[in-house]
Structure 1
Amino acid sequence: TLDVVKSGPSTIVRGNEISYTIVVTNNLGFNTTRNRVIDPVPDHLTFVRANDNSCYYESQTDEVICGEFDLNAGASKTFTLTLKVEDTAPCDSIITNIADVWSNHPGVDPQWSNPVRTDVLCSDPVLTISKTDNRTTAKRGDILNYEIELTNQSNFDATDVEIIDALPSYVTFISANLNGDYENTTHTILWELDIDAGETIHLTVQARVNNDAENGEFLYNHVAITGGDSDTDTTTVIVEHPTFTIQKTDNRSTIEPGEQNFYDIVVTNTSHIDAEDVEIIDTLPHNVSFNTASSPLGVNSANHIGNTIVWITDLLAGESITLHLGVTVDSDTNDGDSVYNKACIDGGPCDDDTTIVVENDPTFTISKTDHKTIARPSETLIYDIVVTNTSGTDATDVEIIDTLPLNVTFEDANLGGSYASGKVTWVRDIDAGEAVAFTLEVTVDTDAEDGDLVYNIVEITNGPDDADTTVVVVDEPIVGCIDIQKETFNSNGTTLTPVTQFTFFLNGSDDTVHNDSNGNARFTNVPVGTHTVSEDIPNGWTQQLVTPTNGRVVVHEGSNCVTVTFKNRQDPVGTPNFTIDKTDNKTSAVPDETLNYVITVRNTGSQDATNVVVTDNIPNDVDFLSADNSGVRNGSTVTWTFTLAAGSSKTLGMSVRVNNNTDDGDIIRNTACVSGGLCDDDSTTIDVNDDDDDNNDDVSISVNDDPDPIDVCNDDDLEYDIRLTNSNNSNETVDVVASLDSDTEYRSSSDGGKERSGDRVEWDNIKVSRNSSRTLRVRVRVDSEVRDGDTLRLRAAVSGGDEDTEITRVRNRNCGDDDEDTPPSQPDLTIDKTADRTEALAGSFASYTITIRNTGNRDIKNATLNDDYPESMMTIADPGGGSDAGGELRWDLGTLRANSTTVVRYRVRIKDNVTQGSSIRNTATVRGEGLTRTDTHTIVVPRPPVTGLGGFIKGIARTANLLTPSTEAASPVAPATDPALPMTVWLTTIFMGLGFGGTFGRRFLF
């Protein structure tokens, strides 16, 4: 027979390929020809390929046919057929496949193969998910666009697939596609989807970053297929802050003592975020005094406290403002000193400016011209030389030298100019601001050749120079001329006769002429071509017309001149000019007192003024009451607008009341400004203690220097401490005088002490608080002529009171010897901390002064100052250029020069909750090159005394307020006082007052 055998797998996963093997064997005993194998394709199978090229799929019969082929007796032929199980084949179904073989050989019957049974298996779909918002960072308010991709990587469809997206905190859901269902309580989004085999579905979610998201917060967004794959996207929140730049300059490198200096401070918000309450702080150097500060519209007026100026403003994104600051360099500033001024943005960058102080040497400018560009042989040239003293210092014996060129001959010179060896020399005194005109007359040599240069240079010895060049022309050029017609008018438009004289220029500087009284002038020998005529317009004049336009003309050969016409009109004479004066006619005031300010504005100009604006900034420590003359209050500013005739004045009035919580020593500074920027201010000092009796006998004085005897070498400095002690129970204000030894020279003094003569230093109105002490300091330099064993004497006295004398012996004057035992240069530090008060009420302000001295003879580099203050009892109102870290102020002092003094000031506010009787103690520490020095100051929050029967009655009403524990800053908890003690004290006080009051006639009751 012609046998056929078929084999295949017993199981198959739907969607996969299945291969059948068919083997045909000729067992007939003879050869057969034209044989064929026929394999019907079962349901859910699709023919893919066969291993034999004779095999093909017959679609009409849904069969795979292989052949025809010949087969020898006993031979076999193998066919491999590959089919694909369709994805829709039912799970667990059975595929049965049978093949048969046919032959055209006579007598050979068809044969069927054995059936092959295969079970169809199904597996779960393979699903993957991914998620991204295509960014790593986001800002508050940003919208996040999440993209989610769900992919069926298998050959099987998936139904009812559940996807859950858990949104992160700090975002708010906006929308989701494909009907995603947002659940507010769980902050999740749910989809239920069918996904076909191989399909990818794109899901999107929109959410907004909340405005309360913190900087650096991670937004984790997790998406998952229920029971399957998941993915997470992470985005970091970035909270941006404004950034700034600051630039400061006075647009100069040097300055003279006593000269005014003006700084420009440019602050720019370089971010795209608006900034509010930006604080700009300018710390003035020690060797200048404050004059004025101004700011553009919208910026709070500058606040000047001590050596610090503060502006506060809002800055829009990208906005720049320019602040202006005016100071005066101290007249006693030494040559070579630096004026170092630094401006900072609080919490931001800083910029500084350094200007070097130079001696008052006169400075000059010099100019020279012969008003010609060409000259001919034998022609006379007259040079005009102008020397100007541009400084504020008179100059003597100024030498001006003019070196003549070789191709001219000297003729004459004015002002005593002397000629010798080809040079003309003048020696003159030139006052500050003076300009001196010199003239020099020469003749061009007859043998000068065409094209030669007459180059003439003039110079001020050790100063500037200038030169003039004129070209020698031998051949006659082709020239023409230009006529100038000048017309002048007064401010009313009336023609002026004679015509005012003006100066005209040809091509800017080629030639110069002046019009006559009829308004005529002429340029001659003007080369043919196009030229421009211009005029010099003096101050007070306005050019009305130039014909032709811009004075541009074409010159033709000959005497037929072209004409340029100029018309000018005088400006109106006189402009308004204002002065302003402000006073409350008081130097001191008490809380609840009314201050009546009088502001006087004068128009000192010759022109009436309209819309004159006066502004007055109301101080912080007062309450506004009223303003006359239609003054309008807006916030903390009162504004008057009025007309002021030339030469007249106007008086304005404003009344305020001093707040009842002002502190003793507070200063109420009130500033008024008039149009044009001129301002005046008035200062009134709060005097809470009305028991000051200014009894100088209550203040004792003592003087001390350290050490004694003193080693003095090479003009060393000596510093005296003058200690004032007030033993009275009231504040005292005294004047102090220090008389210096004739062998010493005054150097400096603290607390506003002024040198009144070569050997006398005075302090005026020095306040010494009750039952406290205050130290003044004066530094002198010992004369180099003082010998070993001499004594130095300083006498200090309270005017009309106590006095003391300190005598210091001098030793070791052999400092010039090159002795090997001479000690090396060493630095040393001292620190002294004081305050403007020893007692302060809760809620009041206090100012600290820290004085650091390098008393050694070597610089100390990288010095720092730290001040530890009790943060629970005070806040920093003005850090004085230091950085506040909460409980600690820090200053980087840089280099402390040998024998130098550095002063730091800052201002604090006592917190309202500090109890009466508390002691506020803080410590300042200076460090540098291994040296550490400290000083401590204590301010007491006093208990208000109860005096008189009125005070007694009020005291009873305030018993609960007075029964407070006394605390130290370092020990905030202390045992409470006995509640009965104040009553005992009150009773004792009232009876003693009644008795002693009657005896001594002193006012005690009420």
Structure 2
Amino acid sequence: MTVDVEQNGSLSLSKTADKTSVAAAGEEIVYTLTVTNNGNVTIEDVIIVDDKVNVNENVGDLAPGESATVTVTYIVSQADMDAGSIVNVATVSGTDPKGEDTDTEDGVTVDTEKAARLTVTKTVDSPTFTEIGQVLTYTITVKNTGSVSLSNISVVDPLTGFEASIESLAPGEEEVFTTTYTIALKDLENGSVVNTVLATGTDPDGEEVTDEDSVTSEGSSRRIIANDDEFGEFPINFSGVLGNILENDLLEGERPDPNDVDFEFTELDGIVGLNINENGELSLLIPGINEPREYRLKYTLRETVNPTNFDEAFVIFRLLDNEVDLSVEKTSNNIEVFEGDEFDYVITVRNNGGTDAENVVVTDELPNGVSYVSTNFVSTDPGVELSTEVQGNRVIWSIPVLPADAVVTITLRVRADALNGEVPLTITNRVTIVSDGEETNPVDNVDTDVNRVNPFFIPNVITPDGDGKNDTFEIKGLNKFVSNEIVIFNRYGDHVFERKNYENDWNAPGQVAGTYFYVLVGVDAQGRTHEFKGWIQVIK
């Protein structure tokens, strides 16, 4: 008996992936393909085909219930990312004993994490600008920072007028551009330049992707500072340089270079004959035409390359009417003075100013104990005239014109009067100077000399008794002479003592009490000889 058996050739295919999604091109997916003979006959020449992963593999014959597995790795492409998912379908086929084909298929889908992102960045070569015409260079970088390709990308920089197009950018790709901008006056006025760039592209789904970036350059910190200039005082007939207005002004903390700044006087306050040098120097060209007073001249100091950077200040100076600077000095040169001596005061008169002084009067108040003898003078300017007037103890010298820088030396000879007693007399002598001009430095218009008159006294009684009082013939002030000689003789004319350069030490040794006579001859420092005669009473 024959029993027919139904032959059933059946294959099944299972396909799996090791991940359900991917984030970027280049990632790997591991696919596992398993084929199983689910029939009751052997299937021959079982072939697995997967075009996505380039698989076409003959796993041989499979008996009923037998399986075969193929593992393959797939690298994700950018096209896969752009598509949004990776669909992979595999097929399997074989031949049963009856020669009939048996086939089946299976597929698996892996999603892609689709991120469309466009990034634009902008940098500038200088974070600051200082002047009109300065060129700022910008660098623009456009990059695809997403996971899908972008196309039809436009780049626009409105400030510089720059525009560019990019056909497409794959993830990670970038394009770099440069553009420039020239600083204008309005930028210096605004104090900064803000530059914004916009990039726009399209993702695979047709959606627009945009990004923008800005960069700021700050205006100059080269602040200009104009400070008031106090040029001082000048005589009414002054001509020459008053000063430099740039001397105390500042540009970026330092004295401005004349090439970097412009200045303009907006108020001249009535001054005439002013010359303004391009280096900032001010001069008066014509002497004596402006009135004597204070002048305040206003000026504007401006940075040449940045006219909005400016400041204002004043130049201040005074013109003085007949300004003079006289001085007087007086000295007796610390000479040792004795009563009866003639000695000299040296009075030095100077015109320290830049103009002639008119009607100069020098007055000397002679102190008590001193009498006027004579005047002599010399001058560095031979044209100087000097007259002398004595009014009691006051001596007045008049000089009609004392030229600028002239020096007059007056020698005033006086005599030391006799003292009332043996006590030295201090003599304080004061001299003053005035003129018709306005004195700029009155502190040196007065001077004083202090000296003293020492006594010169020849006694006529000595008591050489050894008590230490009046024991010798002591002549007070004998040292006023550089040399001396004395002779003492008795009433008979006999010389009892002779000495050159006597030292006040004669005490009548070996002589009897009585009257004696002397002759003293002294030579002073000027070589003049002085003779004194008299008597001495010796009491023992």
TM range (shorter): 0.3 to 0.5
Q: Flag the structure with more relative contact order, 1 or 2, with Cα contacts below 8 A and sequence separation at least 6.
A: 2
Looking at CA atoms only, which structure, 1 or 2, has the larger radius of gyration? 2
TM superposition score normalised by structure 1: 0.25
